[in-house]
Amino acid sequence: MATQALRLRPKVKNVVWGGDWLLTALGRTPEAPGPVGESWEAWSGSELLNGPDAGATLGDLFAAGRRDLFGPTVDRYPRFPLLVKFIDARENLSVQVHPTDALAMELERHPFGKTEFWYIVAAEPGAEILYGLADRELTAEALADAVAGNDAASVCSRVPVRAGDVVDIPAGTVHALTAGVVVYELQQDSDITYRLYDWGRVGREIHIEKGLACIDPARKGLRVGRPEPQGDGPLRRAPLPSSHVFGSELLEVAGAVDLAPAADGFALLSVVDGSGGLDGEPLAMGDTALLPPGHVAHLEPGPAGLRLVRGWAL
């Protein structure tokens, strides 16, 4: 078994709706001029920064069947299954929907759909998201008319959010991250997104046919929560959304603690507030590490405390 937490090299992405929060708050380095909207912290293309396999990618190591790094997860999935991001929405993202596993295979020949959740890291006063269909009686024909008429936002619910909220987004849910919100996102390792409406931007494709095929009419109503960590001692925790692919929890560290493994496979550990230390090494806001099977992580909070999300494959 691997005996150390493995650090990962982030990859930032320029997008039209991004800002500079990822650069100023997380210290990420842009690859090109322009707004930065996403920092991919862990996915199949992530390079290890330490350990004997430094320089190798998670995808290659997973394909090699490295049970010392991933445990029995390598037997359950055809490729590395999870993706962790931080997203800065300086402007509205498109109104969009993601496919289920079955539809991802049918439409794109990709083994994973895209079920995800957001932990709201920061939000400007009055910030909101679009989530689900507002009208429970909306017919498929009326929905198709709204999408075809470039008016998909009008049929969505608007939900206020603030830092510390959690939004569960199963595949098939119409949604949009909107201006002034920064999120941590845990999702399946898939980048399949079907845009239904893009706020008048020119030059980006709208996916009406595929998007309509993926919308689950049952995905209506609020699925926003606010986890409050519970427990005595230096470690408090709260459950976060789970799916058929991942489990997750919020950890609040108030003193030095040894964190026992969450599952028989690997876990991804990300700082969503504060800073501290992991196994004697500095741990900054936004840092993500892979914890191999059986690894007991030693955590220490900094002066401002330490909040982390731990996610693992099921």
- The pairing of strands 246-253 and 297-313 is antiparallel
Give long-range contacts, CB 8 A cutoff, 24+ apart: 104-109.
Answer: 104/190, 104/192, 107/192, 107/210, 107/213, 107/214, 108/192
Global pTM?
0.96
Q: Give the chain's domain count.
A: 2
- 1 in any annotated domain: no
Q: What is the pLDDT of residues 221-254, one digit of tens each?
A: 667 899 999 999 999 999 999 999 999 999 999 9
Examine the fold and report which residue of 225, 247, 264 is the final residue of a domain before the chain moves on: 225
Going by the DSSP 8-state scheme, the letter that residue 152 receives in this structure is: G
Q: What pLDDT, on the 0 to 100 scale, is given for residue 127?
A: 96
Residue predicted with more confidence, 2 or 265? 265
Q: What would the mean pLDDT of 27-31 be, rounded to a whole number?
A: 92
Examine the fold and report which residue of 191, 225, 259 is the final residue of a domain before the chain moves on: 225
163 shares its domain with 55: yes
191 shares its domain with 250: no
Contact 45, 209 (CB under 8 A): no
Catalytic (active-site) positions: 195
Q: What would the mean pLDDT of 196-216 be, rounded to a whole number?
A: 92
210 shares its domain with 62: yes
Going by the DSSP 8-state scheme, the letter that residue 192 receives in this structure is: -
Percent of all residues in the chain with a pLDDT value above 90, rounded to a whole number: 85
Among 111, 82, 113, which Cα is nearest to 213's? 113
128/176 Cα distance (integer angstroms): 9
- 255 in any annotated domain: yes
211 shares its domain with 243: no
187 shares its domain with 262: no
